[in-house]
A and B are shown apart, each in its own frame.
Chain A
Amino acid sequence: MMMKQLDILLVEDNESDAELVMHALKKNKINNNIIHVLDGAEALDYVFAKGNYAANTDRVHTLKVILLDIKMPKVGGLEVLSKLKADNRTKTIPIVMLTSSSEDQDVEKSYMLGANSYIVKPVDYGDFTDAIEQLEKYWLLRNRTIIT
């Protein structure tokens, strides 16, 4: 496999949602590289190069954005968020909460923990695709991140 710049880490336990997100991301035809992990534990392993991802030591800082679901088995999204934002190596990576929950307490907790954005997945497919396209354009093209 070629070493290619990684842009997006998608953390999503629901296969359908993950597929829809990736389907929508492809619509913009922006050349990017997406990694999808199924839960918070795997996400942390990936970012900190542990467990199954122990070999990927050079990938951490190349992330342009992390799309993080909240309700997931094993390690939930809020815990992943707090661990990433507490670690000096990862706290500058933009994290977008991408979730079904519009609960005030989830929104508040996310921002308290340092989330950079909070997006509720629309039920309507058209709205959903719009949202993902906007998100991709903004965080991959418009937004500037620290690239070392």
Chain B
Amino acid sequence: MKGTSIQQKLMRVILITCAITLLLTSSAYFGYQYFNLKQTYLKQVANTGKIIAFNSTAALAFDNANDAEEILSSLKVDEHIVGAALYNQDGKLFAKYPENISVTDLPVKPQGDGYGVQNSNFEGFQPVMEGNKQLGTLYIRTDRKAIHELFAFYTLASIVILIFSLVVAYFISRILQQSISKPILALAEVSKSISVDKDYSVRAIRYTNDETGALTDAFNQMLSQIEHQNRDIISFNQQLEEKISERTEELERANKELEAFSYSVSHDLRSPLRALNAYSQMFEEDYAELLDAKAMKLLGNIQRNAKRMGRLIDDLLEFSKLGRKELVKTNIGMNQLVTEVMKEVSDGKQNTSVITVEDLPDCLADRGLIYQVWVNLISNAIKYSSKKENPVIHIGSKINDNQVVYFIKDNGAGFNMDYAKMLFKVFQRLHSPKEFEGTGIGLAIIARIIAKHGGNVWAEGEVDKGATFFFTISNSR
């Protein structure tokens, strides 16, 4: 019953009600009819008895058994009369019907007058009277086949009527149940199509003014509310997307401008610089004998500054290139990387630092960029500790908040913690080029690389006691 449709349920209810009503009606009819027929039949038997009794007076009066039997034999017109007998005045059997009926089948002597049901037969005794004198008694018995036949017919008729009625009821209920099921089905259909198509602009049709009508109204109201909210969300989304694409465009434009800028920097700023450098050198070579020491020193200043400017441009370009570079992450064996870097950094240079390296955990990062980080960190450490008598550099790692922190510690010049934040900004230096050479970009490059990896970089230091630089690389892949 749970899986059937509301239409089928309604039809069932109607048909079952109809069938029960019909059965009850026909049962009542049967009962009434049975009672009625019985009375009618008893009356009929009594009438037959009266006629036979009246006809039998002569035979009994003259004691003529043959006549009596003949009169009784006229009962054969009614096939349902299965037995009859005449008793004389003394109560002795005088004649019987039919001829072959056994005496034991008949009552031994007449009993009280009247008709009734005995052994599922109708039977009765009728006094045979002449005037006021009773000459004998007639016994008559009929079977109930007539009633049974009638009832069989009735039953058959009832079944036919029941079936016919149910068929008619089925068709009528099919039409009538629609008034209830149609609005509900329409509602169900609409809600189904909404859940499939996600189209909230459709509306259910209102068929009736009853509870289903109210339900439809509420449903439609809900739909328009959803539609309204959806429209708001969509328009809000569109606005957001427009804003995002606007911003993206702006960013892209800015990025392109920046690229164009760095491109022309790399081309156009270098040439004059090269010319400056070259001509001053050629000047020095060709006119050296004409220049005194002071002029030579000034010329040297020009050359040194031109060189420095060239390095600044190169570093700045390297820094701006980082912004555009896509990360290619691989698993990096940190110890091997640091060893390679140390080899490169100390290659061909005087290096008195004692460098110790702990066992370092591997990490997932862009190898080229992390290489650059270590180059800058290690060469910084060597540079800033180079003026110490016993420069010592230690490279290690620790775990902080479930994150690997790599660090490099030196005992060099150090710095004032007040300026710790400035260290990682472009062109920010805490020492003059005379003290320690450099352009002020190395740490900015490190900060940018680490930021690209989603990590952190920071420094601790104390003037003349040394500095420690820490960095993490994000765990996410």
Contact = CB atoms under 8 A, between A and B. Distances in A.
Interface of A: 14, 16-17, 20, 23, 70-71, 99-104, 121-126, 128
B271 interface: yes
Given A17-B275, A20-B275, A123-B310, A100 B282 contact: no
B266 A123 contact: no
Contact of A71 (B267, B275, B280, B314): B267
Interface in B252-307: 263, 266-268, 270-275, 277-282, 303, 306-307
Contacts, number: 57
8 contacts: A16-B272, A16-B278, A71-B267, A100-B271, A101-B263, A125-B274, A126-B281, A128-B277
A123 B263 contact: no
Contact of A125 (B278, B317, B321): B278
Nearest to A105: B263
A124 B277 contact: yes
A20 B263 contact: no
A121 B268 CA distance: 12
A20 B277 CA distance: 11
Given A101-B263, A102-B266, A124-B307, A17 B271 contact: yes
A29 to B, nearest CB: 16
A20 B279 CA distance: 9
Nearest to A23: B282
Contacts of A122: 274
- Would you list the 9 A-B pairs with minimal beta carbon distance, nearest first? A123-B310, A16-B275, A125-B278, A125-B281, A100-B270, A125-B277, A100-B267, A71-B267, A123-B274
A123 B267 contact: no
Contacts of B272: 16
A124 B310 contact: yes
A23 B317 CA distance: 29
A122 B277 CA distance: 10
B266 A100 contact: yes
A101 B266 contact: yes
Contacts of A100: 266-268, 270-271, 274
B366 to A, nearest CB: 15
B267 A101 contact: yes
Nearest to B262: A103
Contacts of B279: 16
A123 B307 contact: yes
A16 B271 contact: yes
A101 B271 CA distance: 10
Contacts of A124: 277, 307, 310
B281 A123 contact: no
Given A102-B266, A123-B310, A20 B281 contact: no
A14 B281 contact: no
Nearest to B313: A123
B317 A123 contact: no
A123 B282 contact: no
B262 to A, nearest CB: 8
A14 B271 contact: yes
A23 B267 CA distance: 21
A125 B282 contact: yes
From A20, A100, A123, A124, residue with most partner B Cβ within 10 Å: A123
Contacts of A102: 266, 317
Contacts of B266: 100-103
Nearest to B310: A123
B328 to A, nearest CB: 14
